[in-house]
Amino acid sequence: MHNDSTQRFTDRVSDYVKYRPGYPREIVTFLHSTCGLADDAQVADIGAGTGISARLFLDAGHPVVAVEPNQAMRAAADEWLKDYAGYTSVAGTGEATSLDSASVDLVIAAQAFHWFDPIAARQEFARILRPHGLIALMWNSRLLDGTPFLAGYEALLRRFSDDYQSVSERYGDDASMAVWFGDRLAHMARMPNAQRLDFDGLKGRLMSSSYAPKAGHPNHEPMLAALRELFDRTAQDGTVDFVYETLVYVGYPQNGR
């Protein structure tokens, strides 16, 4: 992991649970129909956080082991997903999952891969995957413009966050994923996704981000004041549309199918 990324979200768990977006159900359909994933495939969700991506696959009938190093986030996932018979969780990282070799059919990382050491994670994913296993890396990538709200929100982050730029530049894109997968990149997809948020939801969504200045930081109160002004100026019927494009990259480990 880069720096102390395993602990970046410890004091943001509540906002993360309430206000982070889910992932389109079409991701699972895409993996089944286009990528050949079996209906009963065992899934390892690496950097599972509070369980948002794990639930997507649990709802589709897949057994899922959530691998998460942050105890507070893992506990939130355990509480949220405790009624799913196919759910288990372990303490582990993208580079050292603690899972058995050749024990899963699909490795996913949703909104998490950019925190991993890419070389060590590649080796670990290959180790835990069974023959013919797949890797699916996905991000909800917020649109940076297209509406006054989206453009204003991007400007707000650049103005008030000390490390927004460095974090946002880590997200996967076509070029970086082509390099990481090499000739093992098999499929890509882009899917629309969105949240409709009132002001409390928008504030919670902002504060769920690891780069948002927290209470006590000199930029925190000015940032919230600017957020209120942006919301009041751009909201329609009391809400704003927080719009994403969900990016999905699917391939095979470098050691072969």
Is 187 part of a structural domain of the chain? yes
Higher pLDDT, 145 or 19: 145
Burial of residue 8, with CB atoms counted within 10 A of its CB: 0-12 exposed, 13-18 middle, 19 or more buried? middle
Is 218 part of a structural domain of the chain? no
Q: How far is CA 245 from CA 22, 111, 144, 193, 233, in A?
A: 12, 12, 10, 6, 24
Is 235 part of a structural domain of the chain? no
Let me know: does 145 contact 81? Beta carbons within 8 Å: no
pLDDT at 3 over 60: no
Window from 5-14, 20-29, 103-112, 183-192 with minimum mean pLDDT? 5-14
Residue for token digits 């206000």?
19
Q: List, for residues 48-77, the tens digit of each pLDDT value.
A: 999 999 999 999 999 999 999 999 999 999
Is 213 part of a structural domain of the chain? no
Return the CATH number at 107: 3.40.50.150
Q: Give the whole-angstrom CA distance, residue 257 versus residue 133.
A: 7
Task: Give the per-residue pLDDT at 142.
Answer: 93
Task: Give the per-residue pLDDT at 13.
Answer: 67
Residue for token digits 């996704």?
193
Let me know: does 97 contact 44? Beta carbons within 8 Å: yes
Q: List, for residues 196-205, the tens digit of each pLDDT value.
A: 999 999 999 9
Window from 4-13, 38-47, 190-199 with minimum mean pLDDT? 4-13
Is 183 part of a structural domain of the chain? yes
Strands 129-142 and 240-251: antiparallel
Q: What is the 3-state secondary structure (H, E, C) of 39-56?
A: CCCCEEEECCCCCHHHHH
Burial of residue 73, with CB atoms counted within 10 A of its CB: 0-12 exposed, 13-18 middle, 19 or more buried? buried
User: By three-state DSSP, how is residue 33 classified?
Assistant: helix
Task: Give the per-residue pLDDT at 169.
Answer: 54
Q: How many domains does the chain contain in total?
A: 1
Is 45 part of a structural domain of the chain? yes
For the chain, the straight-line distance linking the first and the last C-alpha, in angstroms and rounded, comes to: 26
Q: Which amino acid is at 108?
A: I
Let me know: does 113 contact 8? Beta carbons within 8 Å: no
Task: Give the per-residue pLDDT at 1.
Answer: 37
Q: List, for residues 213-224, the tens digit of each pLDDT value.
A: 999 999 999 999
Is 49 part of a structural domain of the chain? yes
The residue range of the domain holding 189 is 5-143+166-194+244-251
Is 61 part of a structural domain of the chain? yes
Quote the DSSP letter at residue 100: P
